[in-house]
A and B are shown apart, each in its own frame.
Chain A
Amino acid sequence: MLLQLNHIYKWVKQGGKRVFLLNDISLDVEEGEFISIMGPSGSGKSTLLNVIGMLDEFQEGEYMFLDESVHTLKEKHRSKLYKEYIGFVFQAYHLIDELTVYENIETPLLYKNIKSSERKALVADMLDRFNIVGKKDLFPAQLSGGQQQLVGIARALIAKPKLILADEPTGNLNSKQGEEIMELFKELNQEGVTIIQATHSESNAAYGNRIIHLLDGSKQHQASN
């Protein structure tokens, strides 16, 4: 078991009343799974991914990640955990504009205090793998959307995470670029990386081996297959 959510509730107070963003979510994720979270805009997909990625808090429920109970961990310990095991891919890429492709990919390694020579080798491997060696000295603004997302994925992978969380990774891309990214995810999944992605698109969702439907923060059971 990679992670387990038990009866997670997340709400915000509006006018004294609770508005539920996540409503009684339970979810088991095994290592090696490829899960797609589907639902209309505002249904809570990003919120759920952020909770799984430990970027966001929740009010009730339990969250176990590799047998550690996340909800009781201190912030410092938690960040160590996700630094180690989780990589993020965003719809808006979120590359650092002032860093080159090479430096963007390298950044997570810097925060993990990895030696310079080892960093060089790891980044070189990654550039090679994604066929972007020639672009390594360019800045994000000089790349197309698809290329930027490639860099984003490369960056998410560089620290060899067990889990990749992708929030609408193809949302800003045309369909051909989107397909390439999806193929890449499939490949990664076959290599053993667990992937959870949020998406609008049926065809993208179909890449996963399990689909979770969300509506107003609740899991819709009838649609699972």
Chain B
Amino acid sequence: MLKNYIKIAFRNLWKDKSFTLLNVLGLSIAFAASLLLGMYALFDLSYDQFHKNKEDLFQVYYAEQKPGGQEVATSMPVPFAPALQQELPNIKHISRYISDHALNLEAGKELDLNLIFVDPDFFQMFSFETVLGTKEVLKDNAQISITEETAQKLFGKTEALGETLDLLINGRREVFTVGSILKDPPVTSGLRFDVAVNFSHSPNYTENLDRWDSRNHSVFIQLNEDATASDITQSAVSFTDLHYKGNIEDLKRDGAQPNANGNYLELHLLPFKDIHFADFKGHSLKVSRAYPYMILGIGLLILCIAGINFVNMSIARSAQRLREIGMRKTLGAAKKQLFFQFWSESVWVFMIALLLGIGISMALESSFRQLFNTPATLSHLSSPVLIGVLVGSFVVITFIAGGYPALVLSKLGTLKALKGKLDLAGKNRVRNTLMVVQFSIAIVLISGTLVLKKQLDFMRNKDLGFNKTQVVAVPLNGKRANRQDVALLRNELAGKPGILSVTASDNNLGLGKDGSTYFSRMGFDYKGRGVHTNMLVVDYDYPETLGLQLKEGRTFSRSYSGDSLSIVINEAMARELQEKDPVNKQIILDDSIKYTIVGVLKDYNFQSLNKKIEPISLFMKSDWDLYYAFVKVAPQNMAQTFESIEDAWKRIEPNAEFLGSFLDENIDRTFKRERTMTTIITSGSLIAIILSCIGLFAISMLVVTQRTKEIGVRKVVGASVAQITFLLTKDFVKLVGIAFLIAAPVAWWLLSQWLQDYEYRIELQLWIFLAAGLLAVFIALVTISFRTIRAALKNPVESLRTE
């Protein structure tokens, strides 16, 4: 029996070569696309999920009731973690965490290393496998852990226990002994490092040992198995009342309202497995896996379109199978047997398509990874569970797409089938509905493409308030003290052609090639109110180099001697201080030093574009460190000038890598997610369009065949080519029209949701959706016209004879 089915399946598939080809082509494209998208999405979802204790791991954060409403923050003071562990029950392990970098000073191997400061519990909590040495290594202050890759790089071998490391950390030189070797953290780890050092080596550790008002690190905890996050929040109330008394009183004084529980400051726990998906957006913490699910969704939509093609083509073609069905029934075939026969035919098509799809996805894997800038590989799909899921979804798709036509066919009455009568009206309704679904998907994806592109362009071209095209930022990753490097760079570049000015600050704009981001915020009391500001330490000429606009007053200048006590603020900060005329006003920071505001800058976007511009204050204190040099270049010969900056840096720090880049590159780098999303949705809609066209083409081919006689008769009685073409086309265009009416509101809603994430965003306009709809209509028209026009042009005598 099975052999018989297989035989007839392949003969049928062969007989309808063009349909088989279109189906296999469409399905294999869809399988390949959804495999790659699935790989990307599942990879993203697997971030940080490899920790064995992940269910009990959390990051601690505050929810503070500020006068303007709730704010959340993850930065903790140094005494926090030890106190919490002592005073609260159910905390099994706790570790503070700072990510920093260090320079290996050993001659000839001057390497910049990613370094983390953590507490000894860290390796008990997180599943970073210890290959050599013990997990308790950091209990010894002088010992450190390094990864295998680092060991290989530094010592040329992975068995490096007992070797010594001479590190320059934040300008301080320290020597450590390698106490354990770790497996390299998996690519799906959000915590990345080369070297782990005891937290007591972190910057300003001893000064901050008892200070609750200076917050500079994250805290991770592991709870006892039976404890929950809300237990901790509850039991921490007395803890915060005790240790944050001053804070809470300040909040009350500033007019903050307590939250629903009557608290001004609460501790909360964010599940560690959610960290990759969490967004601390000032006011609240949002955990959202929308991004990977959206990508997964696009993959599913593509599969859906290809599946619809398959269903539609199978049903449309079934007219040719009717006699066979009727005959088989009279020969004794049961419904079940017929169903199985037709279904197995589908299975073959799907199998071939799946194999081809896997082949295509493997062939495209590396270009996909480049295009979407992801370390995900198909091997991430190869866990037994995922393979199960994939096989399962394959079976489900095959079952639905192959099963529906099989069901329709097997249920036909014997006589009806024998007479070749198919209740076409009903089948056409199903077909039309499916085509509407298909085109709706295509229109949603096309509008998504247009909107994402527009938003991305908008963000790229937005005037950020500083000159991003002419300024190069150079991370100061050399061995010398950074201020010394800046001075040397100034000297080297002075008078060089194309160099306009040189300055420095402690923070970058956008995301540099060093890949590091950080922010520094400070709160203090001003006129009896708590105010907050971002802090930026700058060198002379900073506003001038970056092209920041001065609104009032002056900027730092060499002609004023006391500028180390001057600050320059932005308009947002002036508003925060509630000062109409802030110049010459004085503020007193915690350390009771008075600073005088000497100038106000126009607001500029020093942070990402999904944030409002926050208050910022520029300091020029020579005892605070600088981390980035900025060089403004002339617009002519920028490439040459850039090279001369690189050369200058190489002369100053021959062993350090030059990581300089133009600010517009840095800004662009922060749009990685948007860029990837745009590329994905663009390719997705392209594939959706191609697949819909394949389907439409096949259906138009069948409809034209079915109506050959009608066309002939109409021509004989005098219909023109144009009239016939219109007749054949209008039904399809109507479907696309209905699809537009359904898709446009859906797309509008989805996209406006997405845009909500951006403080600076484009307005949604009707024309975007109309354009998407018109594009769909146009593509549909072109696709159908291949067949319809040919049919309309055909000599009617011919078509009548063939009937």
Contacts and interface: CB of A to CB of B under 8 A. Distances in A.
Interface string B218-254: 0000000000000000000000000000000000000
Nearest to A152: B327
B332 A112 contact: yes
A108 B415 contact: no
Contact of B414 (A55, A76, A98, A110): A55
Given A79-B332, A79-B334, A56 B418 contact: no
Nearest to A53: B330
B324 A98 contact: yes
A94 B323 contact: yes
Interface string B417-431: 010000000000000
A96 B12 CA distance: 11
Chain B, interface SS category: helix
B15 interface: yes
Interface in B7-26: 7-8, 11-12, 15
A63 interface: no
Contact of A107 (B323, B326, B331): B331
Contacts of B332: 79, 82-83, 108, 111-112, 159
Interface in A70-120: 76, 79, 82-83, 88, 90, 94-99, 103, 106-108, 110-113
A219 interface: no
Contact of A96 (B1, B324, B334): B324
Contact of A98 (B1, B12, B333, B334): B12
A177 interface: no
A50 B324 contact: no
B7 A103 contact: yes
B8 A98 contact: yes
A45 to B, nearest CB: 14
Given A79-B334, A94-B323, A98-B11, A107 B328 contact: yes
Contact of B324 (A56, A79, A97): A97
Contact of B415 (A56, A76, A95, A98): A56
Nearest to A106: B4
Contacts of A213: none
A214 B327 CA distance: 26
B345 to A, nearest CB: 11
A140 B401 CA distance: 31
Contacts of A155: 331
Contacts of B337: 111
B124 to A, nearest CB: 64
Interface residues of B, number: 21
A86 to B, nearest CB: 9
Nearest to A107: B331
Contacts of B330: 53, 55, 88, 94
Contacts of A98: 8, 11-12, 15, 324
Contact of A94 (B1, B12, B327): B327
Contacts of B326: 94
A82 to B, nearest CB: 7
A138 B354 CA distance: 33
A43 to B, nearest CB: 17
B414 A96 contact: no
A98 B16 CA distance: 11
A159 B327 CA distance: 15
Contacts of A50: 415
Contacts of A159: 332
Contacts of A94: 323, 326-327, 330, 418
A159 B331 CA distance: 9
Contacts of A97: 324
A107 B332 CA distance: 9
B415 A55 contact: yes
B331 A108 contact: yes
A83 B329 CA distance: 9
A79 B15 CA distance: 31
Contacts, number: 55
Nearest to B337: A111
A99 B8 contact: yes
A103 B326 CA distance: 17
B328 A96 contact: yes
A83 B414 CA distance: 14
A83 B415 CA distance: 16
A192 B230 CA distance: 88
Contacts of A96: 8, 324, 327-328
A106 B328 CA distance: 12
A96 B5 CA distance: 13
A110 B331 CA distance: 10
A97 B14 CA distance: 13
Interface string A168-185: 000000000000000000
Nearest to A46: B415
Interface in A27-55: 50, 53, 55
Interface string B302-338: 0000000000000000000001101110111110010
Contacts of A83: 331-332
B349 to A, nearest CB: 16
Interface in A15-32: none
Contacts of A53: 330
A56 B1 CA distance: 27
A186 to B, nearest CB: 24
A76 B331 CA distance: 14
A169 to B, nearest CB: 14
Contacts of A55: 330, 414-415
Given A97-B324, A98-B11, A103-B7, A111 B331 contact: yes
Contacts of B415: 50, 55-56
A107 B4 contact: yes
Contacts of A95: 327
A53 B337 CA distance: 20
Contacts of B333: 111
A113 B2 CA distance: 12
A82 B7 CA distance: 26
A110 B1 contact: yes
A26 to B, nearest CB: 23
Contacts of A56: 415
B336 to A, nearest CB: 10
B20 to A, nearest CB: 13
Contacts of B12: 98
Interface string A183-195: 0000000000000
A103 B414 contact: no
A111 B333 CA distance: 6
Contacts of B327: 94-96
Contacts of A90: 418
B461 to A, nearest CB: 61
A152 to B, nearest CB: 10
B751 to A, nearest CB: 49
Q: Give the residue among A82, A94, A108, A113 with the most B Cβ atoms within 10 A.
A: A94
A107 B333 CA distance: 9
A56 B417 CA distance: 12
A184 B334 CA distance: 30
A113 B324 CA distance: 19
A207 to B, nearest CB: 23
A172 B567 CA distance: 105
Interface in B391-449: 414-415, 418
A96 B329 CA distance: 12
Interface of A: 50, 53, 55-56, 76, 79, 82-83, 88, 90, 94-99, 103, 106-108, 110-113, 155, 159
Given A79-B334, A107-B4, 15 more contacts: A50-B415, A55-B414, A82-B332, A83-B331, A83-B332, A90-B418, A94-B323, A94-B326, A99-B7, A103-B4, A103-B7, A106-B4, A110-B4, A111-B331, A155-B331
20 contacts: A50-B415, A56-B415, A76-B334, A79-B332, A82-B332, A83-B332, A88-B330, A94-B326, A94-B330, A96-B324, A96-B328, A98-B15, A99-B7, A99-B8, A107-B328, A108-B332, A110-B1, A110-B4, A111-B332, A111-B337
Closest 7 CB pairs of A and B: A83-B332, A111-B332, A98-B11, A108-B331, A94-B327, A55-B414, A88-B330
